[in-house]
Structures are given as C-alpha cells and as structure tokens.
C-alpha cells in the first residue's frame, strides 16, 4: 500500500524539550510539506521541500527545523524556541510540479 | 483580509439534503482549486481538483469555480451521515513552488 505515515499519533512533551515528528512516504513523490493545524485557523505551512537536500521556510517556520536527507523522509523538529507548540501537525507530499497534495494521518503534539 | 475565506459553520443538514459549501478568494492569480475532506482527528483527504473555471462532477460531488467572482463551491447531493466532516478548500497560483493556500474549513453535520 502506498501512502504517508506519521508517527507517533499522539506525543506529549514538557516545555523546553525539543521533539522530532516523523514523516515517511512511499509514493515516490519529490515534494513534501509540513503543516500545522489549530482550531479555526486552517492549515499553515511550516516548511516544504521540493527535492532531497533542499527545503524552504513556509509561513510559520520560526521555532521549527527540518531535514531532507532521503526522498522518502521529511522529519520535523519542534524546538524549545517555538512559543506555542501544542497543535495538530500534518505532513503531505506531492509529485513535483503538481498541486495535488496527499496527507498523512497527523501527529497531535501536546506540550505542558 | 485573508487570501481565502471560508465560512466555518457548523452546517447541519438532514440526510438526503443537497449541501453547498463555498470559498471566496482575493488573489486573481489562483488557477488550481481543490476540496479536501477531513474527518475528526484525521489527515485531510483530497476530494476534488479543478483547474481554472468550470464544473467538475464525481459521483455525488460537484465542484464549481467562478473566477470572475473569485468564488468556488462544492455541492454534495443526497448527503449521508458519513459525509459529516470538515471540508477545506485550497488554492494554488501556478507558481514554481506549488504551494497551496487553505481555507479554515467548514464543519458539516448530516443528521440521520
């Protein structure tokens, strides 16, 4: 089965800790994206990558970091610099040059 | 003013009703229009994709784009309780990055 996996589904951390969210896809897509979803705010783009070893900041990149060492993987690190990290995080991928993005199941991060 | 505006609802309809979901936008460069369905605590699922103006039909779903009015709609015929979800519109401007701009989503409840 082709698709996007995100793990874990739920993640709990203490304030001040960095945490890494996993995103893996076996769709052979070149482009991958990270979004944050908060109630009433829709999806906001954190980072995106159109090719291995390259990535760009989205609209709300402050306090986040990413890497793209493999085509299949695009992990997101939520650092202690992120002021309000509790949210639902969604990873997506697409064929390069195409707008249809396919989403993973999401990770709900709670920081207390 | 947000680039994409979407009524958050909630919208409650009886089973079998025709549902109309709408988004307005301000950026006349948008050419690619998508509708996603998101069940509670899940990732969004791509429902419909339309390029430029016109209608597209897929089963009980019809997507309409009116670029002159900067208005897009999703119609659901013979609505079912399983259609109860949040519906997100998304748009792209044809630029090099293939980024999407999302509406905030409309919560739909179909009552049996």
For B38-77, what is each residue's pLDDT tens digit? 999 999 999 999 988 889 999 999 999 999 999 999 999 9
Q: Is A102 on the interface with B (CB under 8 A)?
A: yes
> How far apart, in Å, are the Cα atoms of A100 and each of A34, A39, A67, B72, B108?
15, 23, 22, 17, 23
Residue pLDDT, tens place only, B85-110:
999 999 998 777 788 999 999 999 99
The answer to whether A103 and A89 are in contact (CB under 8 A) is no
Q: Which residues 21-80 of A have a C-beta within 8 angstroms of B?
A: 31, 40-43, 45, 48, 50, 56, 58
CB within 8 Å: B104 and A101 = no
DSSP strands (E only) in A1-112: 4-7, 10-13, 19-25, 31-38, 42-51, 54-57, 64-66, 76-78, 87-94, 102-103, 107-111
Reading chain A (112 residues) residue by residue, the pLDDT tens digits are 669 999 999 999 999 999 999 999 999 999 999 999 998 788 999 999 999 999 999 999 999 999 999 999 999 999 998 999 999 999 999 998 888 999 999 999 999 9
CB within 8 Å: B104 and A99 = no
The answer to whether B7 and B106 are in contact (CB under 8 A) is yes
């Amino acid at each position: 089965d082709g698709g996007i996996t995100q793990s874990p589904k739920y993640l709990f951390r203490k304030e001040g800790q960095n945490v890494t969210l996993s995103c893996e896809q076996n769709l052979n897509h070149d482009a991958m994206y990270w979004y944050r979803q908060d109630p009433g705010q829709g999806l906001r783009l954190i980072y995106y990558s159109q090719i291995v070893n390259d990535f760009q900041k989205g609209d709300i990149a402050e306090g986040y970091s990413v890497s793209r060492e493999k085509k299949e993987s695009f992990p997101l690190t939520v650092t202690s610099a992120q002021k309000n990290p509790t949210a639902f995080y969604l990873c997506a991928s697409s064929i390069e040059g195409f707008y249809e993005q396919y989403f993973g199941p999401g990770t709900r991060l709670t920081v207390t | 003013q947000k680039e994409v505006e979407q009524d958050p609802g909630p919208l409650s309809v009886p089973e079998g009703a025709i549902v109309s979901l709408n988004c307005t936008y301000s950026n006349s460069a948008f050419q690619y229009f998508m509708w996603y369905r998101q069940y509670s605590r899940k990732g969004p699922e791509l429902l419909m994709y339309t390029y430029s103006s016109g209608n597209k039909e897929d089963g009980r779903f019809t997507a309409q784009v009116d670029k002159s009015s900067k208005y897009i709609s999703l119609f659901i015929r013979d609505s079912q309780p399983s259609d109860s979800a949040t519906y997100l519109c998304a748009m792209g401007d044809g630029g090099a990055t293939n980024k999407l701009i999302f509406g905030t989503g409309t919560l739909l409840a179909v009552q049996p």
